Amino acid sequence: MFAAYLTVTILGAVFNGAAAVTYLIGHEYPKTQADMKGLPRKYVPVLGSLLAAGTVGLLAGLAVPILGTLAAAGLILYFIGAIIAHLRVGSRDIVGGIVFLATAVAALTMGLLHHGAW
């Protein structure tokens, strides 16, 4: 059980960490996504910071389980919001969001199975 928990947590951290870096370095992709969704570009670094916080929380959860639980729950809410934002503007390009959401759900599930609720 621990191996599966560790694998899913690290995979989630890598996915979200890479996305956070993309948002925080000023890459063009997050900016065009924000434009498509009607969000001001000034929110792109904020979204990147949320992804970075989720990444750090997942990794910190390896030592302090409640932090991992809260981080995974926060990432789930983040990606539900991202998918809704895509659907709101008529974009059906949600496969990436679903993959990230599934990873966060898996991290939360595996963490709860491994550590319990608290």
- Residue 92 confidence (pLDDT): 87
Distance in Å from the first CA to the final CA of the chain: 17
What's the pTM value of the predicted model, to 2 decimals? 0.94
Cα–Cα distance for residue pair 87/33, rounded to 1 Å? 13
Provide the domain count of the chain.
1
Question: Which residue ranges in the chain fall short of pLDDT 50?
Answer: none
> Domain containing 71: what range?
2-115
CA-wise closest residue to 103 among 1, 2, 17: 17
Cα–Cα distance for residue pair 80/10, rounded to 1 Å? 21
- Residue 76 confidence (pLDDT): 98
Paired tokens of 111: 């963490």
Cα–Cα distance for residue pair 48/1, rounded to 1 Å? 31
